[in-house]
């Protein structure tokens, strides 16, 4: 708030990053459109584009037939095949690695199912690094990896990426990013983020939240995570643990939660609660178990319907509280909460109508994730692209010389 104005060099750097971000998020964009959107003159846009082209971050080409007379404006495209990041996602039941190109293109991807109940960080890091090595062997020699990041279902310290608390994957005070970076041996740090936070980032940049200043993303896995965008920025809090809405208490004295408290949103709405209410806890698990309950309810199974209604009611309390606190434009349900929300939307809306202030909910939209199961890994990729978008030429030069 109290900073002075930027220098000329900072402005140029900012403009280079802004232009690159435009084509990264918006795809191929004409120079005329960039001139228009960035509010700069044509010669500045041309100079910025020339710098990014020379660095191999974008290329210019004639657009496909525009259907209009006159000389068409050149189109600036991200060099998606050449410039990429490594993105990782560590969930309870699966781990995923992907190579994602500038512009958000998933170029390659590896995934494996993991057994529950035990979590050996070294083992998971080994699997992910192995996936990365497999993918790296297939790339051309003129490509460049400009960043790496991982989504983890736990509370992550902002300053160093240590996973402070991830009970569903058995992590506590684990230097996950450092370990993965060492195993990758690419001379790259691995940024680490909470999976729901990164899901929110993905929906905000490439999903249903594009253009929204204020949104809430709720992610269901075994537990419930939250990612919140306030005024176009991800809510991190003082140390990075913000957004732990799964551990807000909606039902004092209710179901015991893995965090030690009772009646947390996660305990009342998470996988275990739904499967227990449906009488299926011993038999089924994971995303498939939840889908079976929702399908059974669709087909008229009264026990399954009742189970969904019960968790939907608590989900409604949680959402209503968040709506009163944040007055968001949209609440997005991702992961297993997509199915749970679809099966209990009436309960959620009913509770919202009784508990959220009418002013706070009058323009609210409730939606299911546009990115589906990819939300978290796409968000990890966006985190990995942060640095190159902040200072494109410096970061690229450092990576090429490294």
Contact map string, positions 259 to 288, toward a second copy, x by CB under 8 A: xxx---------------------------
What lies within 8 Å, CB to CB, of 61 at 6+ separation is 74, 75, 77
End-to-end CA distance of the chain, in Å? Answer: 36
For 83, 136, 145, 270, 308, the CA distances from 141, given in Å and listed in that order, are 11, 10, 11, 45, 52
Sheet holding 155-156, edge to edge: 155-156, 163-166, 171-174
**Residue span binding a second copy (CB under 8 A) among the ranges 15-23, 52-60, 128-136, 141-149:** 15-23
Q: Is 177 exposed, middle or buried (0-12, 13-18, 19+ CB in 10 A)?
A: buried
Q: Could you say which DSSP state residue 119 is in?
A: -
Is there binding between residue 252 and a second copy (CB under 8 A)?
yes
Nearer to a second copy, 153 or 322 (CB): 322
**Residue span binding a second copy (CB under 8 A) among the ranges 93-101, 192-200, 231-239, 271-279:** 231-239
Q: Which of 104, 242, 335, 343 binds a second copy (CB under 8 A)?
A: 242
Q: Which of 51, 93, 301, 329 binds a second copy (CB under 8 A)?
A: 329
**Residue span binding a second copy (CB under 8 A) among the ranges 115-123, 210-218, 278-286, 334-342:** 210-218
- Taking the complex as a whole, the smallest distance from the CB of residue 211 to a second copy amounts, in Å, to 11
The β-bridge relationship of strands 105-113 and 94-101 is antiparallel
Helix (H) or strand (E) holding 366: strand 365-368
Is there binding between residue 18 and a second copy (CB under 8 A)?
yes
Is there binding between residue 359 and a second copy (CB under 8 A)?
yes
- The answer to whether the Cα torsion of 165, 335, 218, 297 is positive or negative is negative
Query: Do 169 and 176 contact (CB within 8 A), yes or no?
Result: no
The β-bridge relationship of strands 330-335 and 365-368 is parallel
Taking the C-alpha atoms of residue 182 and residue 364, their distance in angstroms, rounded to an integer, is 44
Query: Do 389 and 24 contact (CB within 8 A), yes or no?
Result: yes
Q: Could you say which DSSP state residue 223 is in?
A: S
Is there binding between residue 211 and a second copy (CB under 8 A)?
no
DSSP, collapsed to helix, strand or coil, labels residue 106 as: strand
Q: Which of 187, 232, 298, 402 binds a second copy (CB under 8 A)?
A: 232
Q: Which of 54, 210, 346, 357 binds a second copy (CB under 8 A)?
A: 357
Q: Which of 52, 228, 332, 396 binds a second copy (CB under 8 A)?
A: 228
Contact map string, positions 22 to 51, toward a second copy, x by CB under 8 A: x--x-----------xxxx-----------
Is there binding between residue 382 and a second copy (CB under 8 A)?
no
The residues that touch a second copy, with contacts defined as CB under 8 A, are 1-6, 10-12, 14-15, 18, 21-22, 25, 37-40, 155, 157, 164-165, 212-214, 226, 228, 230-233, 235-245, 247-252, 259-261, 317, 320-322, 324-329, 354-360, 363
């Amino acid at each position: 708030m109290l900073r002075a104005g930027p220098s000329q060099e900072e402005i140029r750097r900012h403009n280079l990053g802004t232009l690159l971000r435009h084509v990264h998020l918006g795809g191929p964009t004409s120079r005329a459109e960039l001139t228009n959107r960035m509010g700069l003159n044509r010669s500045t846009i041309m100079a910025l584009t020339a710098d990014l082209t020379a660095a191999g971050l974008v290329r210019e080409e004639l657009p496909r037939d525009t259907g209009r007379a006159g000389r068409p404006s050149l189109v600036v495209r991200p060099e998606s095949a050449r410039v990429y990041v490594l993105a990782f996602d560590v969930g309870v039941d699966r781990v995923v690695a992907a190579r994602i190109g500038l512009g958000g293109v998933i170029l390659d991807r590896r995934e494996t199912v993991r057994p529950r109940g035990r979590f050996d960080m070294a083992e998971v890091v080994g699997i992910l690094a192995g996936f990365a090595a497999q993918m790296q062997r297939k790339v051309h020699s003129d490509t460049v990896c400009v960043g790496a990041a991982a989504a983890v279902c736990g509370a992550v310290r902002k300053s160093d990426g240590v996973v402070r608390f991830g009970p569903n994957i058995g992590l506590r005070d684990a230097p996950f990013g450092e370990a993965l970076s060492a195993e990758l041996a690419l001379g790259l740090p691995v940024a680490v983020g909470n999976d729901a936070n990164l899901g929110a980032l993905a929906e905000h940049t490439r999903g249903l939240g594009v253009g929204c200043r204020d949104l809430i993303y709720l992610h269901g896995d075994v537990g419930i995570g939250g990612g919140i965008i306030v005024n176009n920025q991800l809510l991190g809090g003082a140390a990075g643990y913000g957004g732990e809405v799964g551990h807000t208490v909606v039902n004092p004295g209710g179901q015991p939660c893995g965090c030690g408290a009772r009646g947390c949103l996660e305990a009342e709405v998470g996988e275990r609660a739904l499967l227990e209410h449906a009488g299926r806890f011993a038999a089924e698990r994971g995303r498939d178990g939840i889908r079976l309950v929702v399908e059974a309810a669709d087909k008229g199974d009264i026990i399954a319907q009742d189970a969904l209604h019960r968790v939907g009611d608590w989900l409604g309390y949680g959402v209503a509280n968040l709506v009163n606190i944040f007055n968001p434009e949209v609440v997005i349900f991702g992961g297993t909460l997509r199915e749970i929300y679809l099966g209990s939307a009436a309960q959620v809306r009913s509770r919202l109508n009784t508990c959220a202030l009418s002013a706070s909910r009058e323009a609210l939209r409730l939606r299911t994730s546009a990115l589906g199961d990819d939300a978290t890994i796409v968000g990890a990729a966006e985190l990995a692209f942060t640095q190159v978008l902040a200072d494109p030429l410096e970061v690229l030069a450092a990576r090429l010389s490294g």
